Structure 1
Amino acid sequence: MQAIEYDDSLPIEKEALKLWMKDLDNPFRWSLRPFFQFLFAILLHLTWFIKRLPLPQFSAHNFLQKTICWFCENFVSVEANVLILRHYSCESNIINFLIDNQYLDGEELPVNPIKLYPKKIGDMMEDSFVKHDQELFRCFKEMGHWQYKKNSEENVSWQHWQTVDIESLEIHKKKTQVFDFETSHALFMCLFCLLLTREEYRDAINGFNLDQSMAIRVGEIIEDKSLVEMAYNKFPHYLVGPWNLSQRFLMHGFFCEYVYSVLHNLKEKSV
């Protein structure tokens, strides 16, 4: 723990690292999480199997959103909630950075930027968990084939970039907020599968693999091919099921933190 606290080989904001180190120290992560992950992984695969049967499909986005937000506000630790809110902003920044820099010769932006920058849990109430994935797919589809045109470093655009400021996040601590990030995810992964259609859920758990594509594109813009090594989830053309979902989900979060940190530092140097 002391070693990784001081290891800055991989880029990550100090504030995010402190939050994660505290989350790792949560006793529930080492006691309840293994049991919950084992139990709910079995239930998840059963739910996935049932949803894949040729039965009428249903979804309940509003109920899913309200349930997750209620659980976050009352039972998820402050550290985990801040990491969740940070993730929305970090990934939105990365995608908007790609949108802003797809054309660097004065052409009009062909894609509407992502506006998911929640400041409090309540901001995620309206379809944010589902929209988070769908907005990623929308932007990749609307950007079309990658058309980045090499230009000078001074012309890199930060038009829709928003610095992630932890102090601006509104989290009201309650005594019942005790669950760490990974335990919380284990508790909700079955409900997420149940309350989405099979196509929505299939897309959601495979969207992580676009991390590699984002890393390639960002790396081309800033001329840093090492970013690809930071993507744990790769090969978007190969669709997978819910196996190893917890780790893939967590590593997607780390990837966004890493790339955000690289871009944030680059932006600070360019000012």
Structure 2
Amino acid sequence: MNQEPEFLARAHDPADPNPWLALYLDRSTPLPDKVKKAWLTDSSSRSRQYLLPFLRPLARAFIILIQVVKTFLPRRWSHSRLLHRILAWGLERFVSPEANWLILRHFHLGAQILAFIAANSPVPVTTSPLEPRKIEDLKDDLFVKHDLNLFNFVIRLNQALRDAGMDMHAPARVDYSMIRDPGLRLEDLPHKPLNFLDLQSAIELFTPLYQLMLTDNDFWRAANSLQLDETIGIYAAKLLGAPQHLILVNNNHPLVPMSTLRAGYRLVLHGLSTEMLHSLLMELKAAQEGGTPPAPIA
């Protein structure tokens, strides 16, 4: 588990520079070294290099096929609990520890970001945090609940703002009390010979299963929850009084839903956006506590 990835273990060769090393050393965007190391270890894996190019077109073909099949199934046909048990089983046995660590982190970081917006908004709004400590916890419909939480939060927040005749703006002093490291340990995740599947390949494989075992409405909502990255980014930028931080958003305009065929790829972007926004908030919290201005982001 403590073995260094190849891009860190191998000496730099100016005649053959390692692109993963360049990305690891680059500090133009906020990301902790441990997160960047896990992300790039997963991204540079053989699974992603050799399996993903074959899995992605097959997974997208299955999405089209399943859409055709579901036209003949009852409209409310859904097996969410079974879906989550299959997902947890697959993550436990086949997905890399780095990918599992990033997946579990995502729930914690998303909950903290929503709590940050709620605490600093000019109107009161409730949140429903999801903070799984182990893969087993995901069986409690956590993927579906994660999507529901996001849409419900946006609805509650904006209903309260409309009722109060107010808009989001920077508070006199930003509250970062809820922003913290989740405390999840990479070494606690399964690391057996079959735990080799990278994050993107796993997502591409799981997306057709997600579509098959949920209603069309649930799957469409899950896919289009990714379009709210820009919405959450705008909220955070307004609270921070720093619109330049929208550089962290990369899922394009929320009013233009994209095809569900690209849901797997967009989900990876969503995860990275969440990591970067949380990292930025951690930096700003440390700067506030230390009484020093945060380092500018290039």
Q: Given the two structures, how large is their TM-score scaled by the length of structure 2?
A: 0.83
Relative to structure 1, is the Cα distance of residues 150 and 186 closer, same or farther in structure 2, using a 3 angstrom cutoff? closer
Task: Give the aligned partner of residue 251 of structure 1.
Answer: 269
Indicate if the aligned counterparts of 2:203 and 2:264 stay in contact, CA closer than 8 A. yes
Structure 2 CA distance for aligned equivalents of residues 89 and 246 of structure 1 = 20
Q: Secondary structure at the match of 1:59?
A: coil
Task: Give the aligned partner of residue 33 of structure 1.
Answer: 52
Q: Secondary structure at the match of 2:261?
A: coil
Relative to structure 1, is the Cα distance of residues 6 and 200 closer, same or farther in structure 2, using a 3 angstrom cutoff? same
Q: Given the two structures, how large is their TM-score scaled by the length of structure 1?
A: 0.91
Structure 2 CA distance for aligned equivalents of residues 136 and 65 of structure 1 = 19
Deviation at 1:168, TM superposition (A): 8.2
Deviation at 1:247, TM superposition (A): 1.9
Deviation at 1:116, TM superposition (A): 0.9
1:107-118 equivalent positions in 2, closer than 5 A = 109-111=124-126, 113-118=127-132
Deviation at 1:110, TM superposition (A): 2.9
Deviation at 1:48, TM superposition (A): 2.8
The Cα RMSD (Å) is: 1.9
Indicate if the aligned counterparts of 1:80 and 1:181 stay in contact, CA closer than 8 A. yes
Task: Give the aligned partner of residue 168 of structure 2.
Answer: 148
Q: 2:107 aligns with which of 76, 80, 88?
A: 88
Indicate if the aligned counterparts of 1:12 and 1:261 stay in contact, CA closer than 8 A. yes
Deviation at 1:54, TM superposition (A): 8.3
Structure 2 CA distance for aligned equivalents of residues 168 and 250 of structure 1 = 19
Task: Give the aligned partner of residue 84 of structure 2.
Answer: 65
Indicate if the aligned counterparts of 1:64 and 1:191 stay in contact, CA closer than 8 A. yes
Relative to structure 1, is the Cα distance of residues 258 and 52 closer, same or farther in structure 2, using a 3 angstrom cutoff? farther
Task: Give the aligned partner of residue 214 of structure 1.
Answer: 232
Q: Secondary structure at the match of 1:243?
A: helix
1:95-153 CA-to-partner distances (Å, cap 9, x unmatched) read: 111111112xxx7x332x2321111111211010110100101111111255334432x
Structure 1 CA distance for aligned equivalents of residues 171 and 110 of structure 2 = 24
Indicate if the aligned counterparts of 2:170 and 2:240 stay in contact, CA closer than 8 A. no
Indicate if the aligned counterparts of 1:119 and 1:169 stay in contact, CA closer than 8 A. no
2:241 is the alignment partner of 1:226: no
Structure 2 CA distance for aligned equivalents of residues 227 and 162 of structure 1 = 19
Deviation at 1:160, TM superposition (A): 3.6
Q: Please tell me whether Structure 1 or Structure 2 has the larger radius of gyration of its CA atoms.
A: 2
Structure 2 CA distance for aligned equivalents of residues 48 and 218 of structure 1 = 36
1:18-60 CA-to-partner distances (Å, cap 9, x unmatched) read: 0011112211111111111111111112223443678533111
Paired letter, 1:235: H
Paired letter, 2:141: D
Relative to structure 1, is the Cα distance of residues 270 and 114 closer, same or farther in structure 2, using a 3 angstrom cutoff? farther
Task: Give the aligned partner of residue 222 of structure 2.
Answer: 204
Structure 1 CA distance for aligned equivalents of residues 238 and 169 of structure 2 = 10
Q: Secondary structure at the match of 1:244?
A: helix
Relative to structure 1, is the Cα distance of residues 190 and 128 closer, same or farther in structure 2, using a 3 angstrom cutoff? same
Indicate if the aligned counterparts of 1:59 and 1:197 stay in contact, CA closer than 8 A. yes
Relative to structure 1, is the Cα distance of residues 150 and 179 closer, same or farther in structure 2, using a 3 angstrom cutoff? closer
Deviation at 1:169, TM superposition (A): 7.8
Q: 2:38 aligns with which of 14, 19, 25?
A: 19
Paired letter, 2:151: F
Paired letter, 2:125: P
Relative to structure 1, is the Cα distance of residues 164 and 50 closer, same or farther in structure 2, using a 3 angstrom cutoff? same
Q: Secondary structure at the match of 2:102?
A: helix
User: Which blocks of at least 5 consecutive residues in structure 2 are unaligned?
Assistant: 1-19, 162-166, 290-298
Indicate if the aligned counterparts of 2:233 and 2:249 stay in contact, CA closer than 8 A. yes
Paired letter, 1:75: F
1:215-267 CA-to-partner distances (Å, cap 9, x unmatched) read: 11101111221222221112222223213222211111111011000001111
1:68-103 CA-to-partner distances (Å, cap 9, x unmatched) read: 001111110101000101111111111111111112
Larger RCO, structures 1/2 (Cα 8 Å, 6+ apart)? 1
2:94 is the alignment partner of 1:75: yes
Provide the aligned length of Structure 1 versus Structure 2.
264
Task: Give the aligned partner of residue 129 of structure 1.
Answer: 143
Paired letter, 2:275: E
1:140-179 CA-to-partner distances (Å, cap 9, x unmatched) read: 1111255334432xx2123543422233884232222111
